[in-house]
Chain A
Amino acid sequence: MSVAGAASSVAAQEAAQATTGGYRPESEEELAGIIRAAGREGRPLRVIGGGTRDIGHPVTGTPLRMGALSGIRLHEPGALTLVVGAGTPLAEVEAALAAEGQRLPFEPWDGRALHGTGGTPTIGGVVAVNASGPRRVAVGACRDSLIGLRFVDGTGEVVRSGGRVMKNVTGLDLVRLLCGSHGTLGVLTEVAFKVLPAPATTVTLAFDGLTEAQALAAMTLALGTPCEVTGAAHVPKGIGDGPVTLLRIEGFASQVEYRAERLSAALANWGTPRLVEGEGDWPAIRDVRPFAGREGDVWRFSVKPSDGPALAASLRRIAPGAEVIHDWGGGLVWALVPEHTYGREALRGMAGHATLVRASPAVKARMGVFHPQPAPLARIEAGLRARFDPGGVLNPGRMGGRADMGKAV
């Protein structure tokens, strides 16, 4: 069986369970009771938002489905703030914002294509994995827009951090600690965001046929102008045709027109770009669709942008036939490699880290999904886990703590 097939069959199983059996708390209090009972009985829980993002090591535990803690609690368009139940479908959040001409700034990616999952992505799932798309290069990640949350920790205590205001330095920042913690420190019940106006106009400058080095130079130059580029990606194999480099500008019509002209002039060395109006190929890049449904393992690298081409070359040396997508101006590299390729090896000597986003459970177990941390940081992370979830009931093992080939790096 192909790896993509193996991964998606596990995911399909999870998705099937996602609608049957397990818990589906209707309130924060009920959730707290479930977690306390699980702690008493030493019975692990597997936290499920929409079950669409199969990131991390498989978890054995009673499904804990968050879909009932749903609904928009507060949307103040004039204050750019949104408070929403963690189990709310992402689509519902996006529709409510769109109705007021606003959006989540960080363009969360949808895991369904890459992971071959069904189901409905939830906003809590987005926060749990800090899912951030191409616009991250301009406006930051999910964790940058997140201004508050409520969660239930592993002892069944309800905890609140942050709030509904965008400037807040009251106490230690648990908002960011929980964001991207994959449900291992607490179960999210409510999340609050700073949102942004959706622009009137979007234009993408598309350059065809550039090499990775040329593309990186073009993206770097563009991001060094005051044109506020909100997407900078390079797909060496293209989306359909040959290599394509994409630079996105958003704003009101005359602003976008001016910036497109200015950028085209600045980038004249790389040819005359095609101008594409609207969302274009960005959803495909955001959701890593070029790798969807294809055999092989998928790695995600976070690197210094200028290291992107060297990383890609290194990957191709390790695994001939490796395919990459460069996003975030080069700082994010998605790689599709043959099954069992230890992609992390390609990082040797570079700053950054690698996550094994899609692979069979066996490959994940062998290679470790998340990048191994230096010992002092690993101790801190283990200490946080031990204090927020002393009984080890919240997604135990999701973020690792197993055999990891990465120790060799």
Chain B
Amino acid sequence: MEMPIADARIMARKAAIVRRLSAALPGEAVIDDPAELRAYECDALTAYACPPLAVVLPRSTAEVAAVMRICHEEGVPVVPRGAGTSLAGGSLPTADSVVIGVARLTEVLEIDYANRFIRVQAGRTNLAVTGAVEAEGWFYAPDPSSQLACAIAGNIGMNSGGAHCLKYGVTTNNLLGVTMVLVDGTVVEIGGPNPDAAGYDLLGVVCGSEGQLGVVTEATLRILPKPEGARPILMGFASNEVAGACVADIIREGLLPVAIEFMDRPCIETCEAFAKAGYPEVEALLIVEVEGSEAEIAEQMAKIRAIAERHDPDALRESGSEEESALIWKGRKAAFGAMGQIADYICLDGTIPVSELPFVLRRIGELAEDYGLRVANVFHAGDGNLHPLILFDANKPGDLQKAEALGADILRLCVEAGGCLTGEHGVGVEKRDLMTVQFTPADLEAQMRVKDVFDPHWLLNPAKVFPLEASAGRRGAAA
């Protein structure tokens, strides 16, 4: 993967730039020591790393604005960073950039149950948002797997989802407003506690923009009353096709489970070996979870069981207790850890029309065989978000490159099947050069025009989202 050549003129001015930043941000808020900068050289996509010029850790919107003003005046690129959990390299620095980390912006600013929102600083973790309201019986719905660590800022940057978005939607559906610092240091408020913002839906554009348009420092988020209860059922089937048909039937019946998770045989076996969740030996496994009162759950479960019976399930296990529920989820939640035990892996994040699942899985199997690699599949079947895990050996020369090539082929397959390159991880640097598979030059041009408006000199989060070739003219002109 190629990154633009760092601007030597900026790097030569490092000392002066750091002095200005330190003057604006008192008290250990600027990091420029090369050893300390190493901690910020990458995010969760560890295959690529590059220490930045400096890192700042502001404590307020005003401090972020001060940093942005300085960087704007100095012509220095800025890389916004949430908790650094991006799997797509969304906060990979360049050597001439200043990283703005939101790690110290973690406060709850306002909780308003009557109006059903919470306002937080953007560095607060996803789980800590729910943590602030759960004692009163409320929660924040989007629940990415990394929710213990990931920051709301990154959730907004990548429009994060989670296992429950079939019912509750993704970040953009739960975001009411942001405080954002524009590239020149101007602070804007978009949206707020009222249902929608005036004018164009700029909030919608900012959400999922991967730090291309500004730095979000505060967010107003919708909170929801917690459901009375939830219960999963585990179902095993003889083939991926049958499991896929069962999912379609559940949805056609008018049921709206909060989660429908799918695992294929390689995934089931690895998870079972690791987590001992008691998963049956089947070709395909579904975990379906429903919510509501005891009676509501019972009625939905009866319907789901009846549908499953029509597909001759090899296993059917409804949870009868908290412990059994935990056990059913244990294997699924251990999937990534389990894979990590047996091999290195790349986690992909394509989305496909649910109806294409059997075809796509069959084709992934064929591709994997061609490459001589193993692939295990976890799938949010309700919303079409597929996470193939490509297993490889990092110590074997050429294996990473082979795995990456297979990953690119699988994502191309997702697009061909009517889906997209990324459902919830974002494009970052990882899928940047595949964007032309999904988009025409005119599509990309339209997106880049939006960036031109917010960031005329292309200083924000360089070399992400857009193929370098497509953005070359703009970046060149800006330099």
Contact = CB atoms under 8 A, between A and B. Distances in A.
Contacts of A251: 296
B295 interface: yes
Given A177-B201, A353-B194, A373-B199, A157 B296 contact: no
A352 B194 contact: yes
Contact of B195 (A153, A306, A328): A328
B321 interface: no
A371 B188 CA distance: 16
B188 A377 contact: yes
A165 B420 contact: yes
Residue from A100, A157, A170, A175 having most chain B Cβ neighbours under 10 A: A170
Nearest to B431: A170
Contacts of B296: 251, 254-255, 258
B377 interface: no
Nearest to A354: B198
Given A198-B254, A374-B188, A302 B208 contact: no
A160 B443 contact: yes
B197 interface: yes
A81 interface: yes
A265 interface: no
A226 B200 contact: no
Interface in A299-351: 302-306, 328, 331-332, 351
Contacts of B295: 254-255, 258
A178 to B, nearest CB: 9
Interface string A168-189: 1111111111011100010000
A352 B197 CA distance: 7
A59 interface: no
A223 B116 contact: yes
Contacts of A383: 452-453
B198 A373 contact: yes
Interface stretch (B18-26, B32-40, B244-252): B244-252
B199 A399 contact: yes
A197 interface: yes
Interface in A350-365: 351-353, 355
Interface in A372-388: 373-374, 376-377, 380-381, 383-384, 387-388
Interface stretch (A61-69, A135-143, A282-290): A135-143
Interface string B465-479: 100000000000000
Nearest to B161: A167
A36 to B, nearest CB: 13
A174 B445 CA distance: 12
A170 B198 contact: no
Chain B contact residues, majority secondary structure:
loop
Interface in B66-89: none
Nearest to A303: B194
Nearest to B380: A167
A136 B195 CA distance: 9
Nearest to A257: B295
A248 B195 CA distance: 19
B249 A78 contact: yes
Nearest to A182: B200
B299 interface: yes
A214 interface: no
Contact of B199 (A136, A224, A226, A371): A371
Contacts of A328: 195
A258 B385 CA distance: 34
B442 A159 contact: yes
A199 interface: yes
B353 A76 contact: yes
B451 to A, nearest CB: 7
A306 B351 contact: no
B405 interface: no
A295 to B, nearest CB: 27
B230 to A, nearest CB: 11
A331 B195 contact: yes
B227 to A, nearest CB: 5
A34 interface: no
Given A165-B423, A376-B182, A173 B207 contact: yes
> For this complex, into which size category does the number of interface residues on chain A fall?
35 or more
Interface stretch (B44-52, B95-103, B280-288, B432-440): B432-440
A101 interface: yes
B299 A254 contact: yes
B173 interface: yes
A168 B201 contact: no
A353 to B, nearest CB: 4
B129 interface: no
Contacts of A291: none
B4 interface: no
Contacts of B442: 157-159
Given A143-B201, A258-B293, A384-B453, A169 B208 contact: yes
Interface stretch (B120-128, B164-172, B326-334): B164-172
B198 A140 contact: no
B14 interface: no
B209 interface: yes
B146 to A, nearest CB: 15
A130 interface: yes
B202 A377 contact: yes
Nearest to A385: B200
Interface in A81-138: 81, 100-101, 130, 136-137
B209 A173 contact: yes
A302 B450 CA distance: 26
A225 interface: yes
A141 B169 CA distance: 12
A381 B200 contact: yes
Contacts of B354: 76, 78-79
A196 interface: yes
Contacts of B195: 136-137, 141, 302, 328, 331-332
B353 A165 contact: yes
Interface in B101-117: 112-116
A45 B14 CA distance: 52
B455 to A, nearest CB: 11
Nearest to B438: A170
A200 interface: yes
A80 interface: yes
Contacts of B426: 169
Given A166-B166, A254-B299, A351-B194, 10 more contacts: A77-B252, A78-B248, A144-B169, A158-B442, A169-B425, A170-B427, A170-B438, A172-B205, A172-B465, A177-B202
21 contacts: A140-B169, A143-B204, A157-B442, A157-B445, A164-B418, A165-B352, A168-B420, A168-B423, A171-B435, A171-B444, A172-B205, A173-B159, A176-B201, A197-B253, A223-B225, A226-B292, A302-B196, A304-B194, A331-B194, A373-B198, A374-B188
**7 tightest A-B CB contacts, nearest first:** A176-B204, A78-B248, A197-B254, A383-B453, A353-B198, A167-B423, A371-B198
Interface of B: 112-116, 158-159, 161, 165-166, 169-170, 172-173, 182, 186, 188-190, 192-205, 207-209, 212, 225-228, 247-249, 251-256, 292-293, 295-296, 299, 351-355, 380, 383-385, 418-427, 431, 435, 438-440, 442-447, 449-454, 465
